A and B are shown apart, each in its own frame.
Chain A
Amino acid sequence: MNRLEQILAYCEKTAFDLHFTDAKKWKAASADRVLVGYLPIYFPREVVHAAHGLAVGIMGSGDRKQIIKGDAYYQSYICHLPRGVIEMGLDDNLQDFDGFVFPAICDCVRNLSGMFRITGNGKFSRYFDYPQNFQKHIGGDFYREEILKILDDVKQVNGVKPDKAALNKSIGLYNANRRLIERIYDIRQEYPWRLSAVETYHIIRAGLAITVEEHNSLLEEVVSIIENNERGEPMDNIRVVVTGSFCEQPPIGLIKSVEMAGCYIVDDDFMLGARWIQGDVDDTTDSPIDALVTAYLNQSTFSSAVYDVGNPKGKRLVELARQRKADGIIFSAASFCDPALLDRPEMQKECDAAGIPHINFQFHENTGQFKVIKEQAGTFSDSIKLWA
């Protein structure tokens, strides 16, 4: 097994370890370490890192956990992610976590934060709201307060209040993390056969469950290998951007099916939180929290969870597709995902106006049958290759 294969095997195992073994091992090594679980999409992990903590992405139980108790907490017409997460909370998967953060995405996740309080998971359970007003003195001030509440929560657990230097250092590490992830996407844009979309997914998702230092080191190795070495052979595939899967994650079989059907996924929003801030956050400032606030207000990517009156997400999606030289766009949203499904028609309208072909389908994180999706993606690929 060569080094890249070793890294890929480790990342696959870590990405889908629903017991978060590595993160718990990390916490056990020192008494003042804090584990904070957060749900999709974005969370400023830097602040937890600076306070001797590890923010761990809880992306759902996927197709790896049977849901029994979770179904009793949610009605049938909502998505699958909260059922899996509550099941994990009721079982022993999330033991040793000190707290949980529920970023504002939709009502289901907001309700989940309340349920975690009722079930008594962790020492704190925080609904983390985001400003939908992007003026610094309104949305900015509000967001600053939200971040400070998290710092207070962590301090209640371990007594650590990070200073300016610690915060700047953490911001620098996550800047490096985002740069490396972006570099992988850039290399894949030119040579998508060198690292499959599934492998990329594993690498990025693993980073949500290990320290940023370790992840950066793995990413550096991956970048160096795929940048300098040929791997696989180019195929006559179309290039697509997959969008709509920013919260509940698609099963790996779905990503694989799209690739097998003749599509190179050159960009996606699977692990959107890890790529949320576009460019670096200032890590040389006297007020690092303000730097994070400014980055959120001015450098956020587009998402169905964010109000976008000044910069419509449909236009930004089209811009992304053009930047990635994509032949088409696949709208792939979780069933009952209101944010993604409500945005879809507007975004499709923009694609039509820009002449970018698109298809759409829905999934559950535990979908097991991909024949129809493969057929859709296959005929989409054929129609572009043969008739466009």
Chain B
Amino acid sequence: MSKPVYTGGIDVGSNFIKLVLVSYSAENPQILDKATEKIRKRDPSIVADEMLQALYKKHNISYDDIAYLASTGEGDLIKRKKGHFYGMTTHAKGGQFLCPGAKTIVDMGALYVRAIKVSEDARVQDYKMTGQCASGSGQFVENISRYLGLSLEEVGDVSLTSDDPEVSSGICAVLAETDVINMVSRGISTPNIIKGIHISIASRIIKLLSSLKAESPIMLTGGMALNKGMIQAIEEQLAETGKKFEIHTHADAIYAGAIGAALWGGFRYFKLSGKKEAVAN
């Protein structure tokens, strides 16, 4: 039996670093391992290096055993790697891996949301993204949840219990935070504040999808893709606008960028080595 080919993908985000190890031992690539680490106030390159060393140790391998270690996101902080792919390229690939047939990928990251239209072979065809303001981002949700005394894990479930959401500014994070302070002093309940924020972000995402002329099915990726309250808000907003989109997410949605990087790394490895036709998935 031939030795498996390993590729790695490391996605350096603004808040988290995501790492996956992919094996090509079977006909199709398999995710062998994955890890995520919050950066906090540490040097991202050191955090990434520690994650890689832990991965190597766990699987009793070294950097040289990885056929292609690819970075994405702020991956230029990774000191030793084989290549780097741009974030949209990797989310398109990773999104389609997690949701075969997806025609639109919505990457909901810490600092912005990107809607990406993809071809059948994961090629980016068009994209729209939120502007400079952080009010449409995961970082904003995190800030508000901290302000309201909630952990990130709680935010989604709390949002689902809302009965009368109070929508905040969807244009500016500073205004939105002021809105939230006013809501707290007006006695608006935490679930209704959180749901209001989710609705505000969801409405921005719907606008992105409209201007992109997005096609269904849509796959949500990135850190906010597992936030149940966020998903519900998107579905409700879509229903209100009469748009019929299939919305998908996946337990590994946060790893989409890293998965895409590892898969494109595999594609490049096979292409450059000429061992076999570059695999698309």
Q: List the interface of chain A (C-beta within 8 A of B).
A: 233, 235-237, 260-262, 375, 378-379, 381-382, 385-387
Give chain A nearest CB distance to B57 CB in angstroms.
22
- A235 vs B85: C-alpha distance in the bound complex, in angstroms? 12
Given known A-B contacts A236-B272, A379-B89, A386 and B264 have beta carbons under 8 A apart:
yes
Q: Is the CB of B123 within 8 A of A387?
A: yes
- Is chain A's binding surface mostly helix, strand, loop or mixed? helix
Query: Shortest beta-carbon distance, A258 to chain B, in Å?
Result: 11
Pair A382/B81 contact, Cβ less than 8 Å: no
Query: Hey, which bits of chain B sit against chain A, CB under 8 A?
Result: 68, 76, 80-89, 123-124, 264, 267-268, 272
Q: Complex Cα distance A386/B80, Å?
A: 21
6 residue pairs of the A-B complex, CB under 8 angstroms, read A233-B80, A235-B83, A261-B86, A378-B87, A382-B86, A382-B89
Chain B residue, CB-CB nearest to A380: B86
Chain A residues with CB under 8 A of B80 = 233
- Closest CB-CB distance, A232 to chain B, in whole Å? 10
4 more A-B contacts (CB under 8 A) besides A236-B272, A260-B84, A386-B264? A236-B68, A261-B76, A261-B86, A378-B85
Q: Are B272 and A379 in contact (CB under 8 A)?
A: no
> B76 contacts which chain A residues (CB < 8 A)?
260-261
In chain B, what residue has the closest Cβ to A376?
B86
> Given the known A-B contacts A233-B80, A236-B272, are A386 and B267 also in contact in the complex, defined by CB atoms under 8 Å?
yes
Identify A381's interface contact among B81, B86, B123, B124, CB under 8 A.
B86
Contact A235 B82 (CB under 8 A): yes
Q: Which residues of A contact B88 (CB under 8 A)?
A: 379
Within the assembled complex, what's the spacing in Å between the Cα atoms of A385 and B83?
10
Min Cβ gap B89→A in Å is: 4
Q: Please, which residue of chain A has its CB at the minimum distance from the CB of B74?
A: A260
Known: A386-B264, A387-B123. A237 touches B86 (CB 8 A): no
Cα–Cα, bound, A329→B68 (Å): 26
**Complex alpha-carbon distance, A378 and B84, angstroms:** 8
Nearest B residue to A233 via CB reads B80
Q: In chain B, what residue has the closest Cβ to A263?
A: B84
* B86 (CB) vs chain A CBs: closest residue: A378
A239 → chain B closest CB, angstroms: 13
Q: In whole Å, how far is B252's beta carbon from the nearest beta carbon of chain A? A: 22
Given A385-B268, A386-B264: A235 and B81 interface contact (C-beta under 8 Å): yes
Identify the closest chain A residue to B81 (Cβ): A235
Using A236-B68, A236-B272, A260-B76 as known contacts, say yes or no to A382 and B82 having CB atoms under 8 A apart. no
- Give the complex CA separation of A197 and B75 in angstroms: 19
Residues of chain B contacted by A260 (CB below 8 angstroms): 76, 84
Question: In the bound complex, do residue A379 and residue B268 qualify as a contact, i.e. CB atoms below 8 Å apart?
Answer: no
Most buried by B among A236, A237, A385: A236
Q: Kindly provide the distance from the CB of B229 to the nearest chain A CB, expressed in whole angstroms.
A: 30
Min CB gap A375→B, angstroms: 7
Contacts of A375 in B (CB 8 A): 86
Name which of B81, B84, B268 has the most chain A CB atoms within 10 A of its CB. B84
| Chain B residues within an 8 Å CB radius of A379 | 86, 88-89, 124
9 smallest CB-CB distances across A and B, nearest first, come from A378-B86, A236-B83, A260-B76, A382-B89, A262-B84, A382-B86, A379-B86, A236-B82, A236-B268
Q: Report chain A residues within 8 Å CB of B87.
A: 378
Chain B residues with CB below 8 A from A381, complex form? 84, 86
Quick one: which of B83, B86, B124, B272 has the most chain A CB within 10 A? B86
Please measure, in the bound complex, the distance between the C-alpha atom of A375 and the C-alpha atom of B112, giving whole angstroms: 14
Q: Which residue from chain A places its CB closest to the CB of B87 in the assembled complex?
A: A378
Chain A residue contacts of B82, Cβ below 8 A: 235-236
A265 to chain B: closest CB distance in Å?
15
For the complex, give the distance between the alpha carbons of A386 and B267 in Å: 8
* Minimum C-beta distance from A141 to chain B (A): 53
Cα distance, A235 to B123, chains bound together (Å): 23
Q: In the bound complex, what is the Cα–Cα distance between A385 and B68 (angstroms)? A: 14
Chain A contacts of B123 at CB under 8 A?
386-387
The residue on A at minimum CB distance from B93 is: A386
B268 cross-chain contacts in A, Cβ below 8 A: 236, 385-386
Q: Closest CB of chain B to A291's CB: distance in Å?
A: 46
**Does B83 lie within 8 Å of A237, measured CB to CB?**
yes
Q: How far is the CB of A150 from chain B (nearest CB, A)?
A: 45
Chain B residues near A235: list those with CB within 8 A. 81-84
Q: A236-B68, A236-B268 are in contact. Are A262 and B124 (CB under 8 A)?
A: no
Bound Cα distance A386, B269 (Å): 11
Bound CA–CA A317/B123 (angstroms): 30
Give the distance to chain A from B104, nearest Cβ to Cβ, in Å: 18
Nearest CB on A from B146, distance (A): 26
Q: Which residue of A lies closest to B269 (CB)?
A: A236
Question: What CA separation (Å) do A237 and B68 show in the bound complex?
Answer: 13
Most buried by B among A233, A382, A385: A382
